[in-house]
């Protein structure tokens, strides 16, 4: 069954002819487990971070909003963990290889205040999730559907955009600081995503293909990076900030 994956940035990614039965192939199954596992680590750490950042929230309404977002991230984690179990993987073992990379990213991008925390949730996490959505164009329909489900950030986007824009109206001087923070976040997030793919042979093979199936050539990889950059620029524009 051939499926077309709609590019969230407005174009069409290449179709994939992979069936769920491809999970019987060891290399492909390992790649799918890696993809789901790295997303699971991202979601559980996002849950922890949002719960912690709620302490910095200036109002009880903001605390409640952050709590709701954290709850959504936890639900995503549970869905990913359950899928790992369905695939016969030990979630703890599957997630372990990605823990240090994610911890390094969060250590390098620790926000200093409430607004930087919101920016990190929207811009920093957003570029990483875009990358995993791109990878999902090379997986079977069920896996792709799960990836898109957990990468959906519409509710988070509306809340963050509202708060950041209000903060800029209240104090226009914060715009410059947040714009610089956004540039730092996208650089670190892209480095983290590339490191994940480079460190895991199965994920790299999923992207570039092999003798049994096509993958992305250098031109497509270039287009993918351009889409990631365009998506980041749109997020920054939505916030009223320069990319």
- Looking at the DSSP bridge assignments, the partners of residue 119 are none
How far does CA 234 lie from the centroid of its chain?
16
Query: Helices marked H in 25-140 — which ranges?
Result: 26-53, 60-86, 91-108, 114-119, 125-135
Percent of the chain at pLDDT above 90? 35
Query: How many domains does one find in the chain?
Result: 1
Q: Is residue 99 part of a domain?
A: yes
Specify the higher pLDDT residue, 214 or 159.
159
Judge residue 79's burial from the number of C-beta atoms within 10 Å of its C-beta, 0-12 exposed, 13-18 middle, 19 or more buried: middle
Nearest CA among 117, 92, 89 for reference residue 181:
117
pLDDT at residue 202 in the model: 79
Cβ atoms within 10 Å of 195's Cβ, excluding its own: 14
Q: How far apart are CA 138 and CA 126, in angstroms?
A: 20
**Rounded Cα–Cα distance for residues 120 and 214 (Å):** 35
78 versus 16: the higher-pLDDT residue is: 78
| Least confident residue range of 23-27, 140-144, 160-164, 237-241 | 23-27
Number of Cβ within a 10 Å radius of residue 149: 11
The pLDDT of residue 158 is 85
Contact 19, 76 (CB under 8 A): no
Query: Which of 155, 158, 149, 185 shows the shortest CA–CA distance to 77?
Result: 149
Is pLDDT of 6 > 60? no
Instruction: For residue 90, count CB atoms less than 10 angstroms from its CB and return exposed for 0-12, middle for 13-18, buried for 19 or more.
Output: exposed
Share of the chain above pLDDT 70, in %: 84
pLDDT at 165 over 80: yes
Q: Looking at the domain assignment, is residue 75 inside a domain?
A: yes
What's the CATH number where 84 sits?
Answer: 1.20.1260.10
The answer as to whether 123 is a domain residue is yes
**For the segment 103-143, what is each residue's pLDDT rounded down to a tens digit?**
898 889 988 888 998 998 888 888 888 888 888 888 888 89
**Which residues lie below 8 Å from residue 59, measured CB to CB, with a gap of 6+?**
none
Q: List Cα–Cα distances, 105 to 56, 109, 163, 172, in angstroms.
A: 21, 6, 24, 29
Return all residues near 182 (Cβ < 8 A) that are at least 6 apart. Answer: 119, 123, 232, 236, 239, 241, 243
Range of the domain at 109: 21-239
* Rounded average pLDDT over 210-220: 57
Query: 19-42: per-residue pLDDT in tens?
Result: 555 677 778 888 899 999 999 999
Q: Which residues contact 188 (CB under 8 A, 6 or more apart)?
A: 105, 108, 109, 124
Judge whether 6 lies within some domain: no
**Residue 10 counted as domain residue:** no
Looking at the domain assignment, is residue 5 inside a domain?
A: no
Domain assignment present for 208: yes
- Quick: pLDDT tens for 55-109: 888 899 999 988 888 898 999 999 999 999 999 999 999 999 999 988 898 889 9
Confidence of residue 166 (pLDDT cuts 50, 70, 90): very high
DSSP bridge pairs for 6 = 12
- Identify the residue whose tokens are 């980041």: 232
Tell me, yes or no, whether 226 lies in a domain: yes
């Amino acid at each position: 069954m051939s499926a077309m994956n709609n590019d969230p940035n407005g174009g069409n990614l290449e179709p994939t002819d992979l069936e769920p039965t491809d999970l019987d192939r060891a290399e492909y199954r390992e790649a799918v487990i890696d993809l789901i596992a790295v997303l699971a680590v991202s979601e559980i750490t996002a849950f922890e971070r949002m719960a912690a950042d709620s302490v910095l929230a200036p109002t009880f309404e903001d605390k409640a909003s952050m709590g709701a977002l954290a709850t959504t991230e936890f639900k995503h984690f549970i869905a990913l963990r359950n899928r790992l179990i369905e695939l016969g993987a030990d979630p703890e073992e599957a997630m372990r290889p990605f823990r240090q990379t994610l911890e390094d990213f969060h250590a390098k991008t620790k926000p200093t205040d409430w607004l930087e925390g919101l920016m990190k949730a929207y811009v920093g996490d957003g570029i990483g999730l875009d990358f995993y959505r791109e990878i999902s164009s090379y997986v079977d329909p069920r896996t792709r559907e799960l990836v898109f489900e957990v990468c959906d950030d519409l509710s988070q986007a509306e809340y963050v955009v509202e708060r950041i824009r209000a903060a800029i109206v209240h104090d226009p001087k914060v715009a410059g600081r947040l714009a610089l923070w956004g540039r730092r976040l996208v650089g670190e997030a892209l480095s983290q995503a590339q490191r994940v793919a480079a460190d895991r042979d199965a994920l790299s093979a999923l992207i570039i293909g092999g003798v049994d199936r096509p993958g992305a050539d250098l031109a497509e990889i270039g287009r993918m990076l351009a889409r990631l950059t365009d998506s980041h620029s749109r997020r920054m524009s939505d916030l009223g900030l320069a990319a």
